[in-house]
């Protein structure tokens, strides 16, 4: 991850209002006469790179998106927003040749094209960074860049790896990222893996780059870095379409915004004409009452006490106390060791030394089964590989973590399973066909199923690792409300999040992890955003470097 994470490259923590994040600044000269009104962009303009006319796609008879018109202009950042399951990813997949549209046409440079596969789309200059990264974990960074692409050969006819590595290094240099191109992708952090996907788009000289929730797994600093790259791409005339659930980003980075609801496009227009309020109104179809929920509570007895916990190479000498009815926010950069810490407490990969006590009694947690036995549950950060069984239905998945809770006289009770799933479906308003494999749900809805699975384990100590990753505003508010309720009911909650806003607004106390060591706790409820933002980067407010 190298440079991406060092403190030197960081302008400052959120909220950033400085000019550096406004897209107009660097772009205006190259953009020239980008039409700001969508009506002017419709069709005839020479800056239209790509035009989708009335496209639609069905899954087993149900339209995931329908009748959508979308233009991508050279040098613009075009944000696509909408609730979970609104059809955003599906729309991008149509443009990237993953699915074929069942109605409508796609024009690139004014020519109508049909893509049989992503390879066709890439040949036409459309690259995509999918919602769920699809790199080959065991291949090197360099090999991944060249998958499905003509590779240079030496004059002896064998692949010229030296040339490929040179080219790969050049691309990463252009991105300003330090990365070992020979390292297997498995060894990278998710932020770096994201960068590999971006490099893959660059090396193909894509003119339209689609990004499906690229910032969902990134912390603020990493997201800023990404947007710097995006602006650079735009300056070279590339059109970038990106999906996000973080609405602030839209105002900071996008030129135009398309809002989708229930598979239809409800609005396209310049971002400067919009407010968070109007965006939410269009996405959800009604105004949002309250986003963050935090009740004043007085925490109870210590539920979890961790002392001197160490795992070499991951985290060191970690001590903290988590009380009943308390939410501790664990902030930090990706790769700081937060997930490793939670997973050590959950028994997935045990710590080398240190002690854990639950309700004042020291416990030895050898695996996740014993952790669960002590009432500790963990919401994993990688929902597809660690969380869900994608080929099985949502009820199956929700029940899987607590099969005992569905069992009557030794048999799994289908009625009980149905009741449980219905209950969580309405609690989180999960959208999509619950009887189908959970892998077919939209990303945000998969996350809701995962949260349901965790709650059904009925834990007392809850560790949430990026609980709202990929979840839309409405559902996010709902999740915050549920987390708050859980704390009110006396549960002890440790919430890992890379979204500083979320931590600042939800937590009673905040711990910050930097390179495997804890700083804090910072006492709430009035946190200094700046202090904590700096701490995640290992810098004290007075400018001195924090420990270590």
Ligand X SMILES: Nc1ncnc2c1ncn2[C@@H]1O[C@H](COP(=O)(O)OP(=O)(O)OP(=O)(O)O)[C@@H](O)[C@H]1O
Restricting to residues 129-168, which ones interact with Mg ion according to CB under 5 A?
131
Residue 186 interacting with other proteins (CB under 8 A): no
CA-CA distance, 167 to 112, in Å (whole number)? 32
Q: Which is nearer to other proteins, 237 or 405 (CB)?
A: 405
Q: Is 271 exposed, middle or buried (0-12, 13-18, 19+ CB in 10 A)?
A: buried
Q: In this chain, which of 389, 458, 540, 547 binds other proteins, going by CB under 8 A?
A: 389
Residue 271 interacting with Mg ion (CB under 5 A): no
Q: In Å, how far are 5, 307, 452, 471, 477 from 480, measured between CA atoms?
A: 28, 29, 14, 11, 5
Q: Is 521 exposed, middle or buried (0-12, 13-18, 19+ CB in 10 A)?
A: middle
The least distance separating Mg ion from the CB of residue 91, rounded to whole angstroms, comes to: 9
Residue 388 interacting with other proteins (CB under 8 A): yes
- Which residues make Cβ contacts (< 8 Å) with residue 18, sequence separation at least 6? 11, 12
The least distance separating ligand X from the CB of residue 445, rounded to whole angstroms, comes to: 6
Find how far residue 297's CA is from the centre of its chain. Answer: 30
Place of tokens 């308390």: 326
Q: Which is nearer to other proteins, 290 or 408 (CB)?
A: 408
Q: Which is nearer to Mg ion, 15 or 437 (CB)?
A: 437
The least distance separating ligand X from the CB of residue 217, rounded to whole angstroms, comes to: 13
Residue 89 interacting with Mg ion (CB under 5 A): yes
Stretch that binds other proteins, among 30-38, 332-340, 419-427, 503-511 (CB under 8 A): 419-427
Q: In this chain, which of 164, 206, 233, 377 binds other proteins, going by CB under 8 A?
A: 377
Pick from 464, 523, 451: which is nearest to 299 by CA?
523
For residue 263, which phi and psi values (nearest 5 degrees)?
Answer: 80, 5
Residue 90 interacting with Mg ion (CB under 5 A): no
- Which residues make Cβ contacts (< 8 Å) with residue 357, sequence separation at least 6? 302, 304, 305, 306, 307, 363
Residue 443 interacting with Mg ion (CB under 5 A): yes
Q: Which is nearer to Mg ion, 431 or 491 (CB)?
A: 431
* CB 465, CB 493: distance < 8 Å: no
Residue 338 interacting with other proteins (CB under 8 A): no
Q: Which is nearer to other proteins, 13 or 375 (CB)?
A: 375
Q: Which is nearer to ligand X, 90 or 420 (CB)?
A: 90
Based on its alpha-carbon atoms, the radius of gyration of the chain, rounded to whole angstroms, reads 24
Place of tokens 């909220």: 15
CA-CA distance, 13 to 536, in Å (whole number)? 9
Q: How many residues bind other proteins (CB under 8 A)?
A: 47
CA-CA distance, 530 to 504, in Å (whole number)? 11
The least distance separating ligand X from the CB of residue 56, rounded to whole angstroms, comes to: 11
User: Where do contacts with ligand X occur on this chain (CB under 6 A)?
Assistant: 59, 64, 82, 84-90, 131, 431-432, 440-445, 470, 472
| Partner in contact with 367, chosen from other proteins, ligand X, Mg ion, none, beta carbon below 5 to 8 Å by kind | other proteins
| Partner in contact with 457, chosen from other proteins, Mg ion, ligand X, none, beta carbon below 5 to 8 Å by kind | other proteins
Quote the strand ranges of 188-282, DSSP E: 208-212, 239-243, 256-261, 264-270
Stretch that binds other proteins, among 3-11, 197-205, 247-255, 431-439 (CB under 8 A): 431-439
The residues binding other proteins (CB under 8 A) are 346, 348, 367-369, 371-372, 377-378, 380, 385-396, 399-401, 403-404, 406-407, 410-412, 414, 417-418, 421-422, 425-426, 431, 433-437, 453, 457
């Amino acid at each position: 991850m190298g440079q991406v994470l060092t403190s030197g490259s960081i302008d400052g923590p959120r909220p950033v209002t400085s000019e550096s994040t406004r897209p107009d600044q660097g772009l205006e000269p190259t953009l020239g006469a980008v039409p700001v009104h969508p009506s002017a962009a419709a069709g005839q303009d020479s800056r239209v790179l790509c035009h989708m006319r009335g496209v639609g796609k069905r899954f087993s008879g149900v339209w995931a998106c329908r009748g959508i018109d979308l233009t991508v202009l050279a040098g613009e950042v075009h944000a696509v927003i909408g609730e979970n399951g609104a059809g955003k990813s599906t729309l991008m997949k149509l443009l990237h040749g993953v699915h074929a549209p069942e109605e409508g046409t796609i024009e690139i440079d004014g020519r109508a094209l049909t893509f049989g596969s992503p390879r066709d789309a890439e040949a036409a200059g459309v690259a995509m960074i999918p919602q769920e990264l699809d790199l080959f974990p065991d291949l090197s960074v360099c090999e991944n860049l060249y998958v499905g692409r003509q590779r240079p050969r030496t004059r002896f006819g064998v692949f010229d790896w030296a040339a490929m590595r040179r080219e790969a290094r050049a691309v990463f240099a252009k991105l300003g990222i330090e990365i070992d191109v020979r390292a297997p992708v498995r060894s990278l952090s998710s932020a770096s893996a994201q960068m590999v996907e971006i490099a893959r788009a660059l090396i193909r000289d894509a003119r339209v780059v689609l990004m499906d929730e690229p910032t969902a797994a990134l912390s603020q600093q990493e997201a800023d870095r990404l947007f710097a790259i995006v602006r650079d791409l735009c300056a070279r005339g590339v059109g970038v379409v990106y999906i996000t659930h973080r609405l602030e980003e839209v105002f900071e980075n996008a030129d135009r915004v398309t809002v989708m609801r229930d598979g239809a496009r409800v609005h396209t227009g310049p971002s400067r004409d919009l407010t968070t309020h109007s965006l939410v109104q269009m996405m959800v179809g009604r105004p949002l009452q309250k986003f963050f929920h935090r009740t004043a509570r007085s925490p109870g007895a210590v539920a979890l006490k961790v002392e001197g916990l160490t795992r070499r190479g991951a985290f060191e000498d970690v001590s903290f106390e988590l009380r009943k009815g308390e939410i501790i926010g664990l902030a930090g950069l990706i790769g700081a060791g937060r997930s490793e810490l939670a997973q050590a407490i959950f028994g997935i990969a045990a710590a080398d030394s240190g002690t854990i006590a639950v309700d004042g009694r020291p416990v030895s947690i050898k695996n996740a089964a014993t952790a669960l036995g002590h009432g500790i549950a963990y919401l994993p950060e990688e929902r597809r590989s660690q969380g869900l069984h994608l080929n099985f239905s949502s009820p199956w998945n929700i029940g899987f973590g607590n099969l005992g809770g569905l069992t009557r006289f030794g048999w799994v009770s289908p009625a009980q399973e149905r009741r449980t799933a219905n209950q969580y479906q309405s609690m989180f308003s999960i959208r999509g066909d619950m009887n189908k494999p959970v892998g077919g749900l939209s990303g945000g809805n998969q996350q809701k199923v995962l949260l349901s699975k965790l709650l059904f384990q009925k834990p007392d100590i809850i560790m949430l690792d990026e609980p709202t990753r990929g979840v839309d505003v409405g559902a996010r508010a709902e999740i915050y409300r549920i987390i708050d309720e859980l704390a009110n009911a006396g549960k002890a909650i440790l919430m890992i999040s890379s979204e500083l806003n979320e931590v600042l607004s939800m937590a009673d106390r905040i711990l910050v992890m930097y390179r495997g060591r804890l700083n804090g706790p910072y006492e709430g409820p009035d946190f200094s955003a700046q202090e904590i933002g700096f701490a995640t980067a290992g810098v004290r407010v007075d400018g001195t470097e924090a420990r270590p």
